[in-house]
Structure 1
Amino acid sequence: MTGRGTLRVYLGAAPGVGKTVAMLDEGHRRRERGTDVVVAFVETHGRPHTAARVAGLEVVARRTITYRGTRLPELDLTAVLARRPEVALVDELAHTNVPGSEHEKRWQDIERLLEAGIDVISTVNVQHLASLNDVVEAITGVPQRETVPDAVVRAAEQVELVDMTPQALRRRMSHGNVYRPDKVDAALANYFRHGNLTALRELALLWLADSVEDGLQRYRDQHGIDATWETRERIVVALTGGPEGETLIRRAARIAARVAGGDLLAVHIVRSDGLAGASLADLERQRLLVESLGGSYHSVAGEDVAAAVLGFARAKNATQIVIGASRRHPVVAGLGGPGTGMTITRLSGAIDVHVVGHDFVGKGRRLPVPSHGLTARRRLAGVLTAVALLALLVPGCAVVRDDLGFGTELLLFLLVVVIVSLVGGFYPALGTALAAGLLLNYYFVEPTHRLTISEPENAFALVAFVVIAVLVSRVVDSAARRSSEATRSNAEAETLAALAGSVLRGEEALPALLTRVQETFAMRSVALLRREDDAPASDGGRRAASPSGTRGTWSYVAGIGVDPCLRPDDADAEAAVGDGLMLVLAGRTLAAADQRLLAAFAGQVALAYRQRELAAAAAAAAPLAAADRMRAALLNAVSHDLRTPIAAAKAAVSSLRSREVRWSEADRGELLETAEDSLDRLTALVTNLLDLSRVQAGVLPIGLAAVGVDDVVGHALDAGGVGPDTGRVVVDVPGGLPEVTADAGLLERVVANLVENALRYSPPGAPVRIAASTHADTVELRIADAGPGIPEQDRDRVFAPFQRREDHATPHSAGVGLGLAIARGFTDAMSGTLSLEDTPGGGLTAVVALPVALPGRQRGGSVPSVPSVPDQAPHNRA
């Protein structure tokens, strides 16, 4: 069975560096060694040097595909598979095949050749790699539509860089070795600028370096190599979540910056049980700092911190580790033996370890003491339980002393200690153990009623009893503490999950966060304050100036609850959010255990606040963007539709004034008619632009009165010269319709625009039909055409200005797509509606609905506010 073929790729930073020549030269070398080589597809781009390299190699004929009337050559995959060479040369790996080919992309053709056991040599430029496509476009300003997945190139057995300096490539272009002479100047001034070529060359080198690194890591994994190979400086900084983290990160970043291509990796080791005591807020700030410095943040679970850090460093092939000097107190360090830092240093091997000093060295805990996993009420209950049980046990054991041995008495007292430890924790159990030892000595050890022991065996038993009791109490207290921490961690996780869910469900982030804080900590109110020195308060925001001696003046940003605090000094709990922000809570004082969850909320509040600020900035920029779009559309309109009638009128008038030509009366009349038509078109266009600007600015003068629809329709048709007698319009408007409340002039303009629009798109011989009818308290005027219509999904978007449904549908039509926009604006201004629907039998019907006039309605009624016209849409019939 034939194995899979191998792929070799020549990678270039830009066209013209010599990839295809290098591929062809490799083909010649292999042919000379006796290998069966064919040219499956090579694109010479008319370069004689490249074409000369093809000579002497067998070329497989190309397949020709006809597409849109053009015959285009493509790789003949079937012919190459039938020829079955040992090596096939296939140029342009990222090429998109002509529709009708077997595969969409050429790299898919190459995959078929590889599956058939044929070795392939190909070429690709860095701008065609999918991961770098947008980067290259940002650098050069030229979009690249043909891309190849990075994984295809990375999977190649060999990737060879064809390198050339920018100066050498530009010289090659100047000599005409890349493009034709008529294209050289433009290419050198645009895509092939020196800076562009330098940036593309760096991208190619970095991408290839990453590809080589992936290959090296695969080799190390396959051969089980754990030793550090110093191929690149990688600095791992170990974070505890403590306050010294930022100092360590900045020091590691400076070390990484001293070497070219240095990588910064931050790692935090969390206990596998998830009960780490690190501050979530501090870790979040440190993560953001690492990423802002160009590094990456990692979280690894493990009980042995030193082993976990070293394992991570070796897995990443790190060369240096940065750790902080121990925060343990010297007393603790002396009793506890070597710490994590010393262990990492001792076991690091070839990895260099930097121990960085900071302001918190030696300021940690003095002695490890049992934490209070239980509440004060539980500890008091433990003390009472101990008193009660000992008060009952001592008399009871004294009564049956003759029937019990000393070992049994020890077990009974030990049982009391265990019960007390379960109820009250370590300290009550410790006191119970000591009291039990004294009671046993006084009442049950010879000589009784004296604190002396005559038998060494009894002395050993008492000491063992006390030690066992203390150890059991310690274990029970630790279990209670872990259970409490697990319960709290579970509650915190549920709280944060509920918070994330509320945001994902679309709730506004900042109010949702503040509400969650209030509910979680049972507070009366929660507020977000901002220091006025950092940023001015938003309009309408409340401000509170703190008296002298407090922490400055704060402005109110957002809040929830009753009487939110306006100063941090008035709050019962607070958490710094960052960027001059403070989260303040009122209602009760938070326990120390709640501060960590509050810090996590504070970090989320900071993100939500920044998100809200960005959204506000985007909203403020939206009108400017809309104005820019309108301005661009207006300029486009002026550049063509406004200039055309001006040019026609000027040409006609200039011809009439010319003394070199004697015009006949017919020619003179035609020129005058052309000038008049052009000026009429210009007048209509300027009028529409002015009307549109008035509608959008909300300053359109409106005089509402009772208007007869039949009169308005007649005047509109007469003014447009398309009355019923012309046969182009069929009118069915009954004379007995009730009057409507409208502005007669504006309504006439609406009808004229809609009729003009309908006539433009109706086929020859198909008249436009106008009908009117009453519906409830409105009168509906329908203007129907038999044209192509508009898809239903586009009907709400066709009323944008400067848009036409089909620019080339009517070659001789004028206008800039304002008819429907102005008609909609005028209709809305008169409290009416304009909608579109299908015409039975094909076409489009515009429906204008206006309210029926109330009895006694007089001219000059109230003027409603004028709604704005949409800025832009993809289609418009006008």
Structure 2
Amino acid sequence: MTRGELRVYLGAAPGVGKTYRMLDEAHRRRDRGADVVIGFVECHGRVLTEAMVDDLETVPRRRVAYRGSSFEEMDLEAVLRRRPQVVLVDELAHTNVPGSGSAKRWEDIEVLLEAGITVLSTLNIQHLESLNDVVEQITGVRQRETVPDAWVRGADQIELVDMTPEALRRRLAHGNVYAPEKIDASLSNYFRAGNLSALRELALLWLAGRVDAELEQYRSEHGVTDTWEARERVVVALTGGPEGETLVRRAARIAQRGKGADLLAVHVARSDGLTGADPALLARQRLLVESLGGTYHQVLGEDVPRALIAFARGVNATQLVLGASRRGRIARMFSPGIGATTTALSGAIDVHLVTHEQVGLRTRARAVSPVSRRRRLAACALAFMALLSVGFGLGFSTDEANLASGVVLVFATVTVVALVGGLWPALLASVCGSALLNLLYTEPYFTLTVAHPQSLLALAGFVVVAVSVSLVVDQAARRTREAAQAGAEAQLLATVAGNVLRGSRPLEALMERLLETFSFTSVSLLERRPGAVGGPEHRRDPRDWSVVASAVREGEESCRAPAQGDIDVPVDDRLTLVVRGREPEAGDRRVIEAFAAQAAVALRQERLAREAATVKPLAEADRMRTALLSAVSHDLRAPLASAKASVTSLRSREVSFSEEDREGLLAMADESLDQLTRLVTDLLDMSRLQAGVLGVGLESLPLRESVFAALEQFGGEAAAVRVDVPEELPDVRADPGLLDRVLANVVGNALRFSPAGAPPAVSASWVGDTVEVLVIDHGPGIPEEDRERMFVPFQRLGDTDTGTGLGLGLALSQGFAEAMGGSLAPDSTPGGGLTMRLVLRAAAPDAAGAAPPPGGAEGRADSRT
């Protein structure tokens, strides 16, 4: 059976017109003769959407009973029996009510696709799993209903339904998205212009990534290797040399000429793990690339030009930026160089050769022997002694029978000397060995004179072979040492990078690590003060520098100016790493420079963390201010408007009210003003709690009386509440007014959410010096991941409006409980529902009038409901 096609209408936010666009497509397909039905479409009371639904066939929905309530879901089995060509299924991220079959609606859609039915569906960008955390940071709302990105990317078609933030806010203000009572709160919170702009950009970027993937798949399937300039991508090649920053900035300027162009930096490393690149320079260049909005990549390859071209074609690059050759004229005569070879291989990719200050300079400094002077002298002595031993061993005999043995022994001597002392002692050994063979085996014997040309040719061949052997052995030994050093450096640098990523103080860890690794006496990271003037005096004056971080051994002091150290490594224009203790070797300096680059990263990381910590209270204050304005504009305005309308009506002389009507209007005004008083009181109490100035007067209170006093506020509703508060409970230490408000709030919530036939219950027990009150309901409950948000001010979970109020009840209740030395926390009710657990301190026995009975744990168990 052929799998059906999936078409998804993707939007940045609710209300952009996804469902309307889906219905419009359904009408077009129906008019072309397709069999189209509606599986599930949610109109949300929008008139235009309802008009589009009226003339389309709709499969009746399935009603599912859950926890005493009835819900409507798509009837999957009915749609499969109907077997249309096209079915409309709205809101694919929706979570089905338990008992519906599949847990998620997108799983129902997968069943329809497997049955060969084409599906049209809708999705908001905030429901994608990979963007869930990002959306929460932007909007402050975590989406519980998500769908895997991979499943959505597998859709046959994804169409973006786009709308500017201003247009969407106008739609919302005109009542085309939500009911009028939700407009003010929505405009002030989720539908702020900044939120909508960010969500819109997320949707565009996510869809652009899918378009790139589709383009890459098409190119791969059709064997397309040529560059398609669908988007400018600029690749800059970095060698790890000092010219890298010039190349990166030049490439960034090229990328900025085309809007939306990508900048990619690539470094080609040798596959043997050895590299001539400076890790510190590469680290700084990587930071520069990332600060300019680009990405850094590293690939392996022996043939640099082919590796660059392969990478550029793999990312569909349009331009490649290279540095002009640093080699001299003689070197360029023998090889065209990387730039010319890359240009010849580039094809449709434009290659830019950028000049820089390093042009014409040698690519590498004079080779320094990795073998110490002492080892070279020891190798020379070994060669002299070994050759003498060979001569005495052969008895300085000219017997041709000893010729083979002499040649083998001399070759062995050259090889051993090359391993011990490197190239030059081995060359000396080969020359001396050839002279020994000349003395013993060429006529005239025991002289350096060569009588026959054949003998001269044989000696020259021996020297060439001996020199070749010594070169090969020295090169192998050199590479072995370089590989071991490179491995050690890589392990050390990996540890350094790990220190930056882990720990709360990565900069201090880096300083300590550098101090221990190279046995320095002090390590200091200095930062130039603003306004300091450069020059020699500037390097010596501690007043021009500040110590950002340091690590010193006991009894030592940190350096306070670059001139006070044995070596200083400039990191950038402001930062310098200064060490004291010993002069490091050339290879060690490269690693120290890498430490310095990572120290700059760690410093930036710490400063960003401090800035984030500073900004967080401001962001929280802004959120609270926004929520307060929303609450004031909505929740305070309603009772104020009711009271104003009642008073205005009573003062009117145009209408004559009966006594009954006058009493009704006065009662409405009185009730509205009482409600307004409670709201203002809650606001003032919340401000006192946050400022830490709430007045609390603790005294001994009988808990049973406090519970019944709180229940009296609910009148007849309280009759259904089951109460199990033992009379022998000890008194509690609490503030009478605060305790009454806490109990009233949690009991009121339990009454509001308890289903019919399952009234809430209040029970109390004690253990030790604490008394615990449980307010139990069997309502819908709250998922564990949302329980912390229950106590956030100005918020109602699920964006529901279940009555009047600012959303401060639970926040105030928790604050009051903690102010009295107790706690308030949610828990799950066995069988479903929510249990609020209020813990208070028990009063002293003499104050309570009675002490808890012995065996507190048993007493607690007996007193539970």
Q: Structure 2: which amino acid aligns with 1:456?
A: P
Post-superposition CA distance 1:78-102 (Å, at most 9, x none): 12222334x2232436351541433
Q: In structure 2, what is the equivalent of residue 289 of structure 1? A: 288
Aligned CA distance change for structure 1 residues 370 and 849 (closer, same or farther; 3 Å): farther
1:528 to 515, 525, 549: 525
Q: Work out which of the two has the higher radius of gyration on C-alpha atoms and give 1 or 2.
A: 1
Q: In structure 2, what is the equivalent of residue 28 of structure 1? A: 31
- What does 1:197-212 align with in structure 2 at a 5 Å threshold? 208-212=207-211
Aligned CA distance change for structure 1 residues 685 and 643 (closer, same or farther; 3 Å): farther
Q: In structure 1, what is the equivalent of residue 650 of structure 2? A: none
CA shift for structure 1 position 142: 9.9
C-alpha distance in 2 between matches for 1:298 and 1:534: 37
Gaps of 5+ in 1: 537-544, 651-659, 703-708, 723-727, 735-746, 828-832, 853-878
1:361 matched to 2:359? The reply is yes
C-alpha distance in 2 between matches for 1:608 and 1:629: 30
- What does 1:415-426 align with in structure 2 at a 5 Å threshold? 415-426=412-423
Q: Structure 2: which amino acid aligns with 1:588?
A: R
CA shift for structure 1 position 435: 3.0
Q: In structure 1, what is the equivalent of residue 212 of structure 2? A: 213
Instruction: Check whether the contact 2:696–2:735 (CA below 8 A) recurs between aligned residues.
Output: no
1:560 matched to 2:581? The reply is no
CA shift for structure 1 position 251: 2.0
Aligned CA distance change for structure 1 residues 372 and 26 (closer, same or farther; 3 Å): farther
C-alpha distance in 1 between matches for 2:795 and 2:136: 31
1:589 matched to 2:589? The reply is no
Aligned CA distance change for structure 1 residues 519 and 847 (closer, same or farther; 3 Å): same
C-alpha distance in 1 between matches for 2:179 and 2:838: 54
Post-superposition CA distance 1:110-163 (Å, at most 9, x none): 211221233334455667666678888999999987665443343233445678
CA shift for structure 1 position 107: 3.0
C-alpha distance in 1 between matches for 2:538 and 2:304: 47
C-alpha distance in 1 between matches for 2:745 and 2:150: 54
1:572 to 548, 566, 584: 566
Q: In structure 1, what is the equivalent of residue 437 of structure 2? A: 440
Q: In structure 2, what is the equivalent of residue 278 of structure 1? A: 277
2:348 to 343, 347, 350: 350
CA shift for structure 1 position 272: 1.0
Q: Structure 2: which amino acid aligns with 1:28?
A: D
C-alpha distance in 1 between matches for 2:72 and 2:794: 39
CA shift for structure 1 position 316: 2.1
- Give the superposed CA RMSD: 6.4
CA shift for structure 1 position 787: 6.5
Name the SS of the counterpart of 1:514 in structure 2.
Answer: helix
1:431 matched to 2:420? The reply is no
CA shift for structure 1 position 601: 1.7
1:494 matched to 2:491? The reply is yes
Post-superposition CA distance 1:635-686 (Å, at most 9, x none): 9999999999999x99xxxxxxxxx99x9xxx9xxx9xx99xx9xx99x989
Aligned CA distance change for structure 1 residues 272 and 551 (closer, same or farther; 3 Å): farther
Aligned CA distance change for structure 1 residues 834 and 804 (closer, same or farther; 3 Å): farther
Instruction: Check whether the contact 2:235–2:265 (CA below 8 A) recurs between aligned residues.
Output: yes
Post-superposition CA distance 1:347-391 (Å, at most 9, x none): 223322221111111112478x65523333322221221222223
Q: Structure 2: which amino acid aligns with 1:575?
A: V
- What does 1:309-708 align with in structure 2 at a 5 Å threshold? 309-334=308-333, 336-365=334-363, 371-397=368-394, 399-442=396-439, 444-499=441-496, 506=503, 508-533=505-530, 547=537, 550=540, 553-561=544-552, 562-578=556-572, 580-620=574-614, 696=692
Q: In structure 2, what is the equivalent of residue 224 of structure 1? A: 223
Aligned CA distance change for structure 1 residues 531 and 53 (closer, same or farther; 3 Å): same
Name the SS of the counterpart of 2:477 in structure 1.
Answer: helix
Q: Structure 2: which amino acid aligns with 1:270?
A: A
Instruction: Check whether the contact 1:63–1:76 (CA below 8 A) recurs between aligned residues.
Output: yes
Instruction: Check whether the contact 1:228–1:319 (CA below 8 A) recurs between aligned residues.
Output: yes
Q: Structure 2: which amino acid aligns with 1:101?
A: S
Name the SS of the counterpart of 2:351 in structure 1.
Answer: strand
Q: Structure 2: which amino acid aligns with 1:532?
A: R
Aligned CA distance change for structure 1 residues 352 and 396 (closer, same or farther; 3 Å): same
1:65 matched to 2:59? The reply is no
CA shift for structure 1 position 420: 0.5
CA shift for structure 1 position 18: 3.5
Instruction: Check whether the contact 1:546–1:567 (CA below 8 A) recurs between aligned residues.
Output: no
Q: Structure 2: which amino acid aligns with 1:156?
A: A
Aligned CA distance change for structure 1 residues 53 and 844 (closer, same or farther; 3 Å): closer
Q: In structure 2, what is the equivalent of residue 238 of structure 1? A: 237
2:17 to 15, 18, 25: 15
Aligned CA distance change for structure 1 residues 784 and 809 (closer, same or farther; 3 Å): farther
CA shift for structure 1 position 715: 14
Q: In structure 1, what is the equivalent of residue 752 of structure 2? A: none
CA shift for structure 1 position 759: 10
- What does 1:649-798 align with in structure 2 at a 5 Å threshold? 696=692
C-alpha distance in 1 between matches for 2:504 and 2:178: 60
C-alpha distance in 1 between matches for 2:130 and 2:594: 34
C-alpha distance in 2 between matches for 1:376 and 1:483: 19
Name the SS of the counterpart of 2:551 in structure 1.
Answer: strand
Same amino acid, percent of matched pairs: 44
C-alpha distance in 2 between matches for 1:645 and 1:41: 42
Post-superposition CA distance 1:204-237 (Å, at most 9, x none): 6765554343223223323433333343333222
C-alpha distance in 1 between matches for 2:628 and 2:186: 35
Q: Structure 2: which amino acid aligns with 1:434?
A: V
Instruction: Check whether the contact 1:39–1:60 (CA below 8 A) recurs between aligned residues.
Output: yes
CA shift for structure 1 position 241: 1.4
CA shift for structure 1 position 15: 0.9
Aligned CA distance change for structure 1 residues 200 and 697 (closer, same or farther; 3 Å): closer
- What does 1:865-876 align with in structure 2 at a 5 Å threshold? none
CA shift for structure 1 position 287: 2.0
Instruction: Check whether the contact 1:571–1:584 (CA below 8 A) recurs between aligned residues.
Output: yes
CA shift for structure 1 position 697: 7.4
C-alpha distance in 2 between matches for 1:189 and 1:836: 32
C-alpha distance in 1 between matches for 2:504 and 2:328: 47
CA shift for structure 1 position 296: 2.2
Instruction: Check whether the contact 1:328–1:362 (CA below 8 A) recurs between aligned residues.
Output: yes
Instruction: Check whether the contact 1:332–1:366 (CA below 8 A) recurs between aligned residues.
Output: no
CA shift for structure 1 position 619: 4.7
Aligned CA distance change for structure 1 residues 326 and 629 (closer, same or farther; 3 Å): closer
Aligned CA distance change for structure 1 residues 626 and 274 (closer, same or farther; 3 Å): same
C-alpha distance in 1 between matches for 2:181 and 2:75: 31
Post-superposition CA distance 1:327-364 (Å, at most 9, x none): 12223333x42222222122223322221111111112
Instruction: Check whether the contact 1:21–1:53 (CA below 8 A) recurs between aligned residues.
Output: no
C-alpha distance in 1 between matches for 2:686 and 2:364: 81
Q: Structure 2: which amino acid aligns with 1:482?
A: R
CA shift for structure 1 position 421: 0.0
Name the SS of the counterpart of 2:399 in structure 1.
Answer: helix
Instruction: Check whether the contact 1:331–1:366 (CA below 8 A) recurs between aligned residues.
Output: no
Q: Which has the larger displacement, 298-307 or 311-320?
A: 311-320
How many residues align? The count is 773
Instruction: Check whether the contact 2:762–2:776 (CA below 8 A) recurs between aligned residues.
Output: no
Q: Structure 2: which amino acid aligns with 1:114?
A: L
